Amino acid sequence: MVEGEETNFPLNARDCLYLDWSHNNGHLCRPLQDDHEITIEELEMRYDTSIKKGLTSSFASQVLERDGPNALRPPKGTPEYVKFARQLAGGLQCLMWVAASICFIAFGIELARGNLASFDNLYLAITLISVVVVTGCFGYYQEFKSTNIIASFKNLVPQQALVIRDGQKNQINAIDLVVGDLVEIKGGDRVPADIRVIFAQGCKVDNSSLTGESEPQSKTPECTHENPLETRNIAFFSTTCLEGVANGIVINTGDRTIIGRIASLASGVGNEKTPIAIEIEHFVDIIASLAIAFGFTFFVVAMFIGYEFLEAMIFFMAIVVAYVPEGLLATVTVCLSLTAKRLARKNCVVKNLEAVETLGSTSVICSDKTGTLTQNRMTVAHLWFDNHVHAADTTEDQSGQSFDQSSETWRALARIAGLCNRAVFRPDQEGLPRLVVGDASETALLKFTELTIGNIMVYRDRFNKVVEVPFNSTNKFQLSVHELEDPMDLRYLLVMKGAPERILERCSTILIKGQELPLDEHLKESFLTAQMDLGGLGERVLGFCYVYLNEKEFPRGYKFDSDEMNFTTSDLCFAGLISMIDPPRATVPDAVMKCRTAGIRVVMVTGDHPITARAIAANVGIISEGSETVEDIAIRKRIPVEQVNKSDARACVINGGQLKDMSSEDLDEALRSHPEMVFARTSPQQKLIIVESCQRLGSIVAVTGDGVNDSPALKKADIGIAMGIAGSDAAKNAADMILLDDNFASIVTGVEQGRLIFDNLKKSIAYTLTKNIPELTPYLIYITVSVPLPLGCITILFIELATDIVISLAYEKAESDIMNLKPRNPRRDRLVNEALAAYSYFQIGAIQSFAGFTDYFTAMAQEGWYPLMCVGLRAHWENVHLQDMQDSYGQEWTFGQRLYQQYTCYTVFFVSIEICQISDVLIRKTRRLSVFQQGNKVLVSAIVFQLLLGNLLCYCPGMPNIFNFMPIRVQWWFVPVPYGILIFVYDEIRKLGVRRNPGSNTFVIVDNHPPPLPLVFLVAGCDLKHKEKVSAFFHESLFCFSRYFTSTPH
């Protein structure tokens, strides 16, 4: 797939980037992109356009035909059949395919040899295939559904663009734009294509979706840089024009735009295998090698005993097939999709089923700041007036505490904030949140004043604006002059806001409790402290002042000139400071805390400024209280930064500039030595580097993001999480999971569910594996000892597919400590490890086999076939022509009667496995708590259901001839019970060991964190370090055993 994507870019993208910039002639690279450098006339020539009249409509449609629509082509959609085929080709699926083909081969051989005893092999093959196909359909459906949900996000309202063609201004759909079109953009628009700006007035563009940088860039017609990415006269597709107006010529459309290239190349970043896929592959490896080893051993044994080669071959294949856990695939798929469904209810849409588990394995979350951790809206956080800092309500729903608004100063401050403000609500809006045209801080002020003093638009109308001086970088302030609402009062009101120190410079008095007081050193000092404090919180601080202009000097009708500033701009009265921040979401600190307890590192990776980033990080707990950076320590100890021991600093803030100079080893080292990391001012490339570095350190990395610039990192991450509301399509396409509510807290839910699923899968697999042995041993005994076959394959299928899945569904709720454990180590904590396999196979599985055979021999003996007689009976037993075969009592049996007796054996074996599995599921419920310590109603009902199903299979009329189940005698249900009790007691002792020796890990089998030394319940005592503990344990277990045995009738 990766290769396929690459071919879309015929030339190395790096070579092409600066060469093939405009790219209006197919796949050829033109030497050097210079659309920004050439003169307007040359540009007109190049694109056959006019900066006055634009293109002609007819030429435009020709170009449209040549270049295609101006839209990002969705990443080359995998054909549906390939998606479906992919669902059929996972690790387990391949195992099943192999098994099915083996069945077909065995069936073919039997058919060819003409001694076709039954169609079992054929049925088995068909069942295997249908399991694969049905679960495949399930997975495909899930994927299909989430694709649909994602598709529904795509903006249904087509983007419009104002284009000038044939000298006429037209609104057309942005996708119809072509190279050479003359377009007009204004504040609030999305830039419809890559545009060479030819005229601009106060045009500012938010490039954050491209660079992640939230600071607006101004756009002017001049070429300021030879690098097309840097020059001010090119505006990029899909960035947002914040304010001002601009005209420009379209120079790139669709996928040829810079954003288009990033988006389509991001989809070329290969998808790593999900952790669960790796685990399942590992599991399949184990199964396959065990199956082949077993099969081969018995092949040799069979040959040695004297079976024919072909017969031995069939045995070999049958053993391999018997080893395949048929039910597991369905269990895994059902578990995953149930969890996906549960997550969807909590606003996480999972695109790929396996990603459900990935989140559970996650050990590092690289979170974007804006929009994920924060609300993505500037909000007034603090005010300073009357020589006090007041905190404003920053919650999303205005549920917090507000400050005391009774002061006269506050009224003055609010009036300035409301009047000296160019932001306006978009007209004709219903409902909330209302959209605002204006820059972020003005918007914040507008909303704040609207909330605190009422309808600000009406308020502004009352104070007629006479003149206004917009902000510029030399002044660093903005002012406006208003008439007063009282018609009798003929004074003008001058209001001003701007950089605090610049405002302060122009003030001579300060308003304290409604009184104008002279601005003395003391007040200045306190102003400075306040400004520093607020700035230190990462907040954007603005100063506000006002003055009533002298009525005589500035009578009504005075000609104010905004350029000359022919009015008082000094000796003003300082009103106060207002500071703004994009506040964290209310749920985030709690969620970050939960991540911490769950051992997950939350790393902030943002395009924003270090100070803001750090302030927010501290606010939400990514940097915990009391953590210091190297710089902090240096300042505290008054030593140079170089002398600080880096390991003393828990926190670290690295900005993009520093990161640029770091080698990958440096970055790894930094990530290793500082647990609390904030990356600020990072570029998209650097995000990718950070993710790679985390992965190099062995972490499973989740990345959250929303912009196009995040999409490569999202793709690179083990699980990319895109924001549903704020996210760009490119990000959503690259992600594995989408948070519909953009809420970081949902990730925590995802982690919990992911861990739960891993635990439950582990339990399910342990449970499923166990009965593989009692399913296999009958066949082995059948081959070696030649007893009548104790267990048929249809019966095995019923154990696997009917009873098993039912039990697996009744999986546990999270054990209470699930979010207090460290994330699993993907290298060590495998889904299936040796210890688990050995315990399931060779201990519990062995006990179950004995249970099955006990019941089998009981059923045979009570019907007239003594155990010893069964040995070597196979050849006669299976002789179709022998109609008067004598049993131990001399009774004569027809073949049909023997067959039903054989079915009876199948059934009792089935019942034995079922009874033992009930015991097994009880022991698998918990990893180390005793079963009595955790109840589960679902489980109980699942067990009851399983028993009912067993009874139905046994006693429903017609079963003998359909599914080879016989109505068996009631007492045969109870034969395996002692073995069930044995399993239970055996495991309770193991768990007792786990609890008594929490450190030793000697008894841990099914655990998230098995010891590096696995396989040891079986070697209890081999770990000589724990010698005393082990011997103490044995004493205790013996005591327990005796107690269990005296209390259970055996």
Of 462-521, binders to another protein (CB under 8 A) are: 470-473, 476, 478, 498-501, 504
Selected from 854, 930, 934, 997, the binder of another protein by CB under 8 A is 854
What is the maximum alpha-carbon separation in the chain?
A: 135
Tell me: does residue 867 bind another protein (CB under 8 A).
Answer: yes
Give the neighbor-by-neighbor strand order of the sheet with 719-723: 348-350, 737-739, 719-723, 701-705, 364-367, 601-605, 676-680, 651-655
Strands 348-350 and 507-512, sheet pairing: unpaired
Ranges assigned E (strand) in 321-427: 348-350, 364-367, 379-385, 388-391, 424-425
Residue count (the chain)? 1050
Selected from 288, 451, 992, 1018, the binder of another protein by CB under 8 A is 1018
Cα separation values, 507 from 390, 548, 572, Å = 22, 13, 4
Tell me: does residue 660 bind another protein (CB under 8 A).
Answer: yes
Residue whose CB is less far from another protein, 146 or 370 = 370
Residue whose CB is less far from another protein, 78 or 820 = 78
Tell me: does residue 826 bind another protein (CB under 8 A).
Answer: no
Query: Least distance (Å) from another protein to the CB of residue 794?
Result: 16
Selected from 204, 415, 585, 927, the binder of another protein by CB under 8 A is 204
Residue whose CB is less far from another protein, 655 or 753 = 655
Tell me: does residue 528 bind another protein (CB under 8 A).
Answer: yes
Tell me: does residue 162 bind another protein (CB under 8 A).
Answer: no
Selected from 884, 932, 970, 1028, the binder of another protein by CB under 8 A is 884
Tokens of 341: 């469904």
Selected from 90, 180, 610, 750, the binder of another protein by CB under 8 A is 610
d(CA 494, CA 471): 15
Is the Cα torsion angle 706, 709, 711, 713 positive or negative in sign? negative
Selected from 707, 712, 720, 980, the binder of another protein by CB under 8 A is 712
Selected from 8, 17, 198, 1011, the binder of another protein by CB under 8 A is 17
Selected from 260, 327, 418, 538, the binder of another protein by CB under 8 A is 538
How deeply is 1004 buried, as exposed, middle or buried, from its count of CB atoms within 10 A (0-12, 13-18, 19+)? buried
Residue whose CB is less far from another protein, 127 or 1002 = 1002
Tell me: does residue 846 bind another protein (CB under 8 A).
Answer: yes
DSSP 803-865: IHHHHHHSPPPPPTTGGGSPPP-TTTS-SS-HHHHHIIIIIIHHHHHHHHHHHHHHHHHHTT-
Stretch that binds another protein, among 211-219, 387-395, 748-756, 870-878 (CB under 8 A): 211-219
Residue whose CB is less far from another protein, 57 or 891 = 891
Return the amino acid letter for 888. Answer: S
Looking at residues 936 to 995 of the shown chain, list those that interact with another protein (rule: CB under 8 A): 961, 969, 975, 978-979, 982
Query: Least distance (Å) from another protein to the CB of residue 131?
Result: 29
Q: Which helix (H) or strand (E) covers residue 209, if one does?
A: helix 208-211
d(CA 579, CA 413): 13
Residue whose CB is less far from another protein, 87 or 531 = 531
Tell me: does residue 230 bind another protein (CB under 8 A).
Answer: yes
Selected from 78, 168, 464, 862, the binder of another protein by CB under 8 A is 862
Tell me: does residue 215 bind another protein (CB under 8 A).
Answer: yes
d(CA 327, CA 838): 20
Neighbours of 1024 (CB within 10 A): 7
For this structure, is 181 an active site residue?
no
Query: Least distance (Å) from another protein to the CB of residue 950?
Result: 20
Residue whose CB is less far from another protein, 411 or 1029 = 1029
Tell me: does residue 641 bind another protein (CB under 8 A).
Answer: no
Residue whose CB is less far from another protein, 615 or 745 = 615
Query: Least distance (Å) from another protein to the CB of residue 471?
Result: 4
Return the amino acid letter for 763. Answer: K
Tell me: does residue 886 bind another protein (CB under 8 A).
Answer: yes
Tell me: does residue 684 bind another protein (CB under 8 A).
Answer: yes
Stretch that binds another protein, among 259-267, 289-297, 589-597, 994-1002 (CB under 8 A): 259-267
Smallest CA-to-CA distance from 844 within 769, 759, 940, 929 is with: 769
Smallest CA-to-CA distance from 323 within 283, 282, 275 is with: 283
Residue of 35, 67, 255, 368 marked catalytic: 368
Tell me: does residue 688 bind another protein (CB under 8 A).
Answer: yes
Query: Least distance (Å) from another protein to the CB of residue 613?
Result: 11
Q: By three-state DSSP, how is residue 662 classified? A: coil
What's the 3-state SS for 1013-1030?
CCCCCCCCCCCHHHHHHH
Tokens of 711: 């999409």
Query: Least distance (Å) from another protein to the CB of residue 472?
Result: 7
Catalytic residue set: 368
